[in-house]
Structure 1
Amino acid sequence: MKKKQQERGPLVTLTIDGYSSDGAGVARLDGQVVFVTGGIRGETCKVRLDKIGRSAIWGHAEQVTDPSSQRLTPDCPYYQQCGGCRFRHMAYAEELAAKRSRVEENIRRIGGLDLPVEEILGAAQPERYRNKAQFPVSTGPKIGFYRARSHQVIDVADCLLQSEAAARLRTAAKAWMAAHQITAYDERTGTGLVRHVYVRTNRQGESLFCLLVNGKGVPQEAALVDCLRRAEPGLVGVVLGVNEKKNNVILGDRYRTLWGQGFLMDTLCGLSFRLSVPSFYQINPDQTEILYRKAAEYAELTGGETVLDLYCGIGTIGLTMARQAGAVIGAEVVPEAVEDAKENAKRNGILNARFFCGDAGEAARRLAAEGLRPDVICVDPPRKGLAPDVVETVAAMGPKRIVYVSCDPATLARDLVRFDALGYHPQQATAVDLFPRTAHVETVVLLSKGEIDSKKVRVEFSLEDMDMSGFQKDATYGQIKERVLQQTGLKVSSLYIAQVKQKYGIIERENYNKPKSENARQPKCPPEKEAAITEALKFFGMI
């Protein structure tokens, strides 16, 4: 019996009048919004309707009857399959206009704020700009990118956004897998070995390769190294990353260097940075320098200010501002990133920057309690934006200026409303295109309170006199658990952590240490977990 062929949706003629947040064209059919993949503003298209929902319709441009002057023939053979690029069918100038409009629309519609985006700073080179490639792997082997809105891997020999070195190393890894019958990971069953191929590159033409696997090792490690080294003369290291969890997370929780060095050096804004595999680092160095210059411009540094850098990562923003500031204090929740930040400060001879480990909200509250009143607070949060308590604590510290660097216009708009309600009003906004040809865009916003309230008392303090180790003595249970998991692969409970802390004289709340009834038996922390927790407490400077 033949399978019934899936019916195609109706074909309608529509005029595109704008863009959605993911780069699709926007049209209207009988008053209902239609998102049109492949449409350009001003065009009339014959649109095939793929999905009709209650509040919106989704379709694709099957034929362009009145093309825009901004339309281009896509120069990538994978464009219709791969979900990475959204704007390769249009001129770059139109892409920039669409992104600028998106930021303004989000601020106006979600935030209800009248804040024009002064300009969008486009890239001089919108191709081959990415310094990091992450290729998912599936049976075949196929190594490439996911088809749009799916986890089906499209085998991609080269990507015009990635470096040529990344393409060569991807091809070499595929050849090694085929030659030695190395299996690919299957998300559905949790079986198979190779999950992702990861490549970092720098401006000096060097590259670092990491193979992410569902296991503690791979067969034919020496053959892998040899294959990669022959394919790429600029290779400086080969790393194995371990992720044995049944999830779709890319990076591992343990790393082992198979050959060479397990890190890559790069330069940004005249400074030198050391990058390990899990280090966060902006993927477009040329545009990152433009972004950071704009952030520094909004900070209005004259040489004597104290700058608090929340979500500081490996210290890139704070360290680039340190040369124009009196002091920089950076906070980051990832312990390894904090250590990298400290090393980066030392490497670049920057003596007026300090970094410590802590959640952004917790860090800001601790600093406020210590009497810190920064002149400028810079935040660069992940896509989910700022938690409400972080907004409140930042505002309560009373800085003259807040510089908000955002990678998501929607959460940016939401947070601007929260700041506005607390008296910090957005003054200026600039969009920066760090991700040409994709739907993503960065924005930097300046917020200020206006005139300083003369009734406020300014607290002076010396960084040299501040005990920075005190911040790490409040490492959260979550941070301790994460450290233990990363270092040993063991999962530990809050109860076990409390028992070990009590052993070392760290006072705990009673409910962690006492059973609910007098007759209840309380499990004791096993020796191997006690050793792992003890190591974590030492790492955070708690014992």
Structure 2
Amino acid sequence: MLLKEKQKFPLKIKRMGINGEGIGFYKKTLVFVPGALKGEEVYCQATKVQKNFVEARIVTINKPSKFRVQPACPIYEACGGCQIMHLRYDKQLEYKADVLRQALKKFQPAGYEDYEIRPTIGMDKPVHYRAKLQFQTRSFGGSVKAGLYAEGSHRLIEIQDCLVQDKLTQDIINTTVKLLDKHKIPIYNERKIAGVRTVMVRRAVATDQVQMIFITSREVRLSGLISELTKTYPEIKTVAVNLNTSKSSDIYGDKTEIIWGQEAISEEVLDYGFALSPRAFYQLNPQQTNALYGEAVKALDVTPDDDLIDAYCGVGTIGFAFAGKVRSVRGMDIIPEAIEDAQKNAVAMGFTNTYYEAGKAEDIIPKWYREGYRATALVVDPPRTGLDDKLLDTILDFAPEKMVYVSCNVSTLARDLVRLTKAYQVEYIQSVDMFPHTARTEAVVKLQRK
């Protein structure tokens, strides 16, 4: 390794990596430079020297990219919640298709060189799109602040006006912080103090209904705060408390209790509505969720004779897009509250051909097959960790005729396709920009059994 820590050197950026960083080579040494764009010539300083690569920071940009823009967010670099706001938006969309290609090249699933990668579907106005926030709370000098940790640290960056966050949820968290101060609510401290550690605010865009969760490491009295908050914001319909006493980085503990208001809020996607309980998963960008689910419906291309399994079904949202088009829909999820929501949502929409069960897909699907159920179509929408190995085994064992994989992580998608292409042909991949200004993208993969 020729480079040493703190050494300064010139570098030409050849491409951008999956975390939005610029990538170049200094005398055959791989160098990662956050904030650098493809085609730029930078003068940088090594910050970390590893055996096979170096991380560096920009000192000066000697030749900027013509696609570099001034980020509209004043705390963009400090926050770290967005990674590519300095790249013009149309080029962000091209980048997201490119990182998909990079992931495929790394894992090399069968026939990957010939996959059809369709242009990324973007937003007309890629701002204030996040309908859910989870901000950490901390007390500094007796004053409560809320925001996100700076990347790779536990240093809180206060956020009062986030460019990608829904404006109503931002207003509510700002007011909540003032009320936490006013009512002297204990605020969590990693060393010794137990109290409120995180606040979740989610808005259902179709109905303007809002739900909140206070995540706390001890019981706290919130009645006075809730009374003031709900008078100020009549949109708030549900307030819950989640108890998390662990020292881990997990946001939530096991127990969530609604302490004010109704059990769920109502949201809509495509042409149907559904209920969301506080802990139930739903996409962060409701506008692009319409595009994402629309692409999933198009890709699966079901018929009235199809029987569909919706793995990782959550509150049933993707499955409901198919329920009126197929003979049956069955779904499962490991969160019991989500399954309860799915069951209630199906009844509310008048579906009699749906069935939902709490548990792991790799356990439930074989059980259903033993009981005589046969699926002709499968849709999976896993977390960022991708498909469980046992579930991959299960899918390959039963191999429904057609399948759609909805992914939020290009790396685990490419990894899983290595296994899936033993039984399936990749027809195409459609990326959808669910998270403008970040390095993340979603992808819909159309698979057909060989």
| Range of TM-score over shorter length | over 0.9
Give 2:157's aligned residue: 154
Q: Tell whether 2:20 aligns with 1:16.
A: no
Shift of the alpha carbon at 1:425? 2.4
Which amino acid in the other structure matches residue 54 of structure 2?
Answer: I
Question: Residue deviations 1:435-476, cap 9 Å, x none?
Answer: 1111211111122223xxxxxxxxxxxxxxxxxxxxxxxxxx
> Are residues 62 and 206 of structure 1, via their aligned partners in 2, closer, same or farther at CA, if it must alter by over 3 Å?
farther
> Are residues 46 and 232 of structure 1, via their aligned partners in 2, closer, same or farther at CA, if it must alter by over 3 Å?
farther
Q: Find the aligned partners of 1:419 and 1:8 in 2 and give their Cα distance.
A: 42
Q: Tell whether 2:350 aligns with 1:349.
A: yes
Partner secondary structure for residue 329 of structure 2: strand
Give 2:262's aligned residue: 261
Q: Find the aligned partners of 1:309 and 1:243 in 2 and give their Cα distance.
A: 30
Give 1:170's aligned residue: 173
Shift of the alpha carbon at 1:370? 2.3
- Number of aligned residues: 440
Shift of the alpha carbon at 1:297? 1.2
Give yes or no for contact 2:430–2:443 (8 Å, CA) kept in 1: yes
Question: Residue deviations 1:25-45, cap 9 Å, x none?
Answer: 111111111111111111111
Give yes or no for contact 2:11–2:44 (8 Å, CA) kept in 1: yes
Shift of the alpha carbon at 1:312? 0.8
Give 1:521's aligned residue: none
Which amino acid in the other structure matches residue 293 of structure 1?
Answer: G
Q: Find the aligned partners of 1:232 and 1:72 in 2 and give their Cα distance.
A: 36
Q: Find the aligned partners of 1:16 and 1:31 in 2 and give their Cα distance.
A: 13
**Percent identical:** 32
Higher Rg: 1
Give yes or no for contact 2:116–2:427 (8 Å, CA) kept in 1: no
Give 1:210's aligned residue: 213
Shift of the alpha carbon at 1:194? 0.8
Where does structure 1 lack aligned partners over 5 or more consecutive residues?
A: 1-6, 451-543
Question: Residue deviations 1:367-407, cap 9 Å, x none?
Answer: 22223331111111111112222122212223211111111
Give 1:62's aligned residue: 59
Counterparts in 2 of 1:328-339, with a 5 A limit? 328-339=329-340
Give 1:497's aligned residue: none
Question: Residue deviations 1:262-287, cap 9 Å, x none?
Answer: 42211111211111111010111111
Shift of the alpha carbon at 1:240? 2.2
Shift of the alpha carbon at 1:341? 0.5
Shift of the alpha carbon at 1:342? 0.6
> Are residues 348 and 70 of structure 1, via their aligned partners in 2, closer, same or farther at CA, if it must alter by over 3 Å?
same
Q: Find the aligned partners of 1:237 and 1:105 in 2 and give their Cα distance.
A: 43
Give yes or no for contact 2:13–2:41 (8 Å, CA) kept in 1: yes
Q: Find the aligned partners of 2:84 and 2:232 in 1 and give their Cα distance.
A: 31
Q: Tell whether 2:269 aligns with 1:296.
A: no
Give 1:105's aligned residue: 102
TM-score between both structures, scaled by the size of structure 1: 0.78
Q: Tell whether 2:36 aligns with 1:35.
A: no
Question: Residue deviations 1:170-204, cap 9 Å, x none?
Answer: 12221122223333212344x32011011010113
Report which of the two has the higher share of strand: 2
Which amino acid in the other structure matches residue 17 of structure 1?
Answer: K
Q: Tell whether 2:79 aligns with 1:82.
A: yes
Q: Find the aligned partners of 1:229 and 1:48 in 2 and give their Cα distance.
A: 50
Q: Find the aligned partners of 2:209 and 2:371 in 1 and give their Cα distance.
A: 43
Q: Find the aligned partners of 1:28 and 1:268 in 2 and give their Cα distance.
A: 45
Q: Find the aligned partners of 1:362 and 1:319 in 2 and give their Cα distance.
A: 23
Partner secondary structure for residue 81 of structure 1: helix
Shift of the alpha carbon at 1:290? 1.0
Give yes or no for contact 2:42–2:59 (8 Å, CA) kept in 1: yes
Counterparts in 2 of 1:138-153, with a 5 A limit? 138-140=138-140, 141-153=144-156
Partner secondary structure for residue 39 of structure 1: coil
Q: Find the aligned partners of 1:234 and 1:340 in 2 and give their Cα distance.
A: 21
Shift of the alpha carbon at 1:8? 7.9
Q: Find the aligned partners of 2:413 and 2:5 in 1 and give their Cα distance.
A: 39
Give 2:313's aligned residue: 312
Which amino acid in the other structure matches residue 443 of structure 1?
Answer: A
When structure 1 is superposed on structure 2, of 334-343 and 391-400 the one drifting more is 391-400
Partner secondary structure for residue 280 of structure 1: coil
Give 1:488's aligned residue: none
Give yes or no for contact 1:241–1:251 (8 Å, CA) kept in 2: yes
Question: Residue deviations 1:145-185, cap 9 Å, x none?
Answer: 11011121111112111111122221222112222333321
Q: Find the aligned partners of 1:377 and 1:215 in 2 and give their Cα distance.
A: 42
Shift of the alpha carbon at 1:230? 4.7
Give yes or no for contact 2:217–2:245 (8 Å, CA) kept in 1: yes
Q: Find the aligned partners of 2:262 and 2:386 in 1 and give their Cα distance.
A: 34
Give yes or no for contact 1:406–1:443 (8 Å, CA) kept in 2: yes
Give 1:195's aligned residue: 197
Give yes or no for contact 1:187–1:247 (8 Å, CA) kept in 2: no
Give 2:428's aligned residue: 428
Give 1:445's aligned residue: 445
Which amino acid in the other structure matches residue 131 of structure 2?
Answer: N
TM-score between both structures, scaled by the size of structure 2: 0.93
Shift of the alpha carbon at 1:231? 4.1
Question: Residue deviations 1:204-261, cap 9 Å, x none?
Answer: 3232222111113x23x23211332354342223222222223222123333334322
> Are residues 53 and 120 of structure 1, via their aligned partners in 2, closer, same or farther at CA, if it must alter by over 3 Å?
same
Partner secondary structure for residue 78 of structure 2: coil
Which amino acid in the other structure matches residue 299 of structure 1?
Answer: L
Give the alignment's Cα RMSD to 1 decimal. 1.8
Which amino acid in the other structure matches residue 416 of structure 2?
Answer: D
Give 1:517's aligned residue: none
Q: Find the aligned partners of 1:449 and 1:428 in 2 and give their Cα distance.
A: 13
- Of the two structures, which has the highest relative contact order with CA contacts closer than 8 Å and spacing of 6 or more? 2
Shift of the alpha carbon at 1:351? 1.8
Q: Find the aligned partners of 2:301 and 2:271 in 1 and give their Cα distance.
A: 20
Give yes or no for contact 2:183–2:225 (8 Å, CA) kept in 1: no
